[in-house]
Amino acid sequence: MVPQRTLNNTIRCSGIGLHSGKKIQLVLHPADVNTGIAFTRSDLNISIPAHADFVIDTRLCTTIGKDGVSISTVEHLLSALSGLGIDNAHIEVNGAEVPVMDGSAAPFVFLIQCAGIREQNESKKVIRILNRVEVSDGDKRCALYPASGFKVSYLLDYDHPLLKNRSVSIDFSHQAYTREVSRARTFGFLHEIEALQKSGLALGGSLENAIVLDQYRVMNDGGLRYEDECVRHKILDTVGDLSLAGLPIVGAFEGARTGHQMNHSLVTALLADTSAWRIEDLSPVENPTQTVLSGQVFAQQM
Query: Residue 269 carries which DSSP code?
Result: H
Return the bridge partners of 119, or none.
5
What gap in Å lies between CA 74 and CA 99, rounded to an integer? 9
H or E element, residue 107: helix 106-115
In Å, the largest CA–CA distance within the chain is 53
Distance in angstroms (rounded) separating the CA atoms of residues 270 and 253 = 12
Distance CA 250, CA 136 (A): 22
260 given a catalytic annotation = yes
SS (H, E, C) 232-250: HHHHHHHHHHHHHHCCCEE
- Other CB atoms within a 10 A radius of the CB of residue 157 amount to 15
Residues in Cβ contact with 21 at an 8 Å cutoff, skipping those fewer than 6 apart: 203, 204
Q: Which helix (H) or strand (E) holds 229?
A: helix 229-242
- Spatial distance between the Cα atoms of 180 and 252, rounded to a whole number of angstroms: 17
For the four alpha carbons of 157, 167, 83 and 136, in that order, the dihedral sign comes to positive
Catalytic residue among 29, 51, 260, 264: 260
Contacts of 200 (CB under 8 A, 6+ apart): none
Asked if residue 50 lies in contact with residue 241, where contact means CB atoms within 8 angstroms, the answer is no
- CA distances 146 to 72, 97, 140, Å, are 31, 34, 21
Active site (catalytic) residues = 260
